[in-house]
Amino acid sequence: MAESFFFGRAESPLFGVYHAPLSAADRDLGIVVCAPVGREYTKTHRALRQLALRLARLGFHVLRFDYRGCGDSSGEPVDADLGRWAEDVGRAADELEDRAGLVKVGLVGLRLGGTLALLAARRRRDVEAVVLWEPVLEGRRHLTDLSASNARWEAERGLPPQAAAPDGTAGLHGFPMGRLLRQSLEQLAWTFERRPARRALLLRELSDPAEDALHAQLEKHGVDLEVRTTPPERFWQDADDGNRMFVPNASLRVVTSWLEGGTACEN
């Protein structure tokens, strides 16, 4: 059964949902699920909840959570940046280890959540595995794509273009993006001082030129990297039925089997 609660610092608590193992297997690895943000958060919520349930059925301890300024966590979105959100991933990992009595974690991140998972992993020494599921690898291009899709979204609804506020906050699909987050995306770069994880899975529909720099860094530090291709799902984007929340079963099977195959368990 899932348990919802708040954790982290008393002055800035984060909201989390813990999924206890639902099988006799006792996995030695806890899984932190790192969601996207903004519109992509709402579009992928059902899929990531299904991922957590499937992992729990395989015997994993799983924690889903909201970054500060997102969902039910404290704070304002305009105060966030990649560094602060990566710290939140770290707090979630600490919480899961304390709650489940574990010493190792795996991080599964979708879209910007994949970016944050890897940024958090390079600060830690207890990350066994990282799943990078359609991660944002180029911050500037991501901002350009968001602006273009927001312009189409406004035009489809007959909304006038919205200018940025004096403090630099801009609305994207109804969600605010502050100056700090924009700046941190513009400065996003993939460099590692040491190995961020023992192994990593890069799951994407299409190859990306930005992968080369990431591959080079991961290989330099001895990360066992596997690259897999997904079906053309794009479930984090608007579908023909804007209210439909698609569950990408093929990709979920890849993620769960990859994590299951690299962990030990006791029956």
Residue with tokens 């970054």: 67
What tens digit of pLDDT does each residue of 69-115 get? 999 999 998 899 999 999 999 999 999 999 999 999 999 999 999 99
Report the number of distinct structural domains present in the chain.
Answer: 1
Q: pLDDT band at residue 267, thresholds of 50, 70 and 90?
A: very low
- Report pLDDT for 168: 72
CATH number, domain of 55, equals: 3.40.50.1820
- Report pLDDT for 240: 45
241 vs 43, 150, 155, 237, 246, CA distance in Å? 12, 18, 17, 11, 10
Dihedral sign, Cα of residue 97, residue 102, residue 104, residue 105 = negative
Listed in order, strand segments (DSSP E) in 134-198 are 170-172, 175-177
Mean pLDDT (the chain, rounded): 90
Average confidence (pLDDT) over 21-27 = 85
Rounded Cα distance between 245 and 46, Å, is 6
What tens digit of pLDDT does each residue of 31-48 get? 999 999 998 999 999 999
The model's pTM is 0.93
What tens digit of pLDDT does each residue of 154-179 get? 888 888 877 777 777 877 777 888 99
171 pairs with which residues across the strands? 176
What tens digit of pLDDT does each residue of 119-137 get? 999 999 999 999 999 999 9
Query: For residue 70, which of 182, 177, 151, 180 has the smallest C-alpha distance?
Result: 177
- Report pLDDT for 232: 83
For residue 165, give its domain range: 2-266
Listed in order, strand segments (DSSP E) in the chain are 2-7, 14-19, 26-27, 30-34, 61-65, 105-110, 127-133, 170-172, 175-177, 199-204, 224-229, 265-266
- Report pLDDT for 56: 96
Q: pLDDT band at residue 196, thresholds of 50, 70 and 90?
A: very high
Query: For residue 133, which of 149, 119, 113 has the smallest C-alpha distance?
Result: 113
Residue 261 tokens, joined: 């195959």
- Report pLDDT for 244: 54
Rounded Cα distance between 24 and 249, Å, is 24
What tens digit of pLDDT does each residue of 221-252 get? 999 999 999 888 888 776 544 445 678 999 99
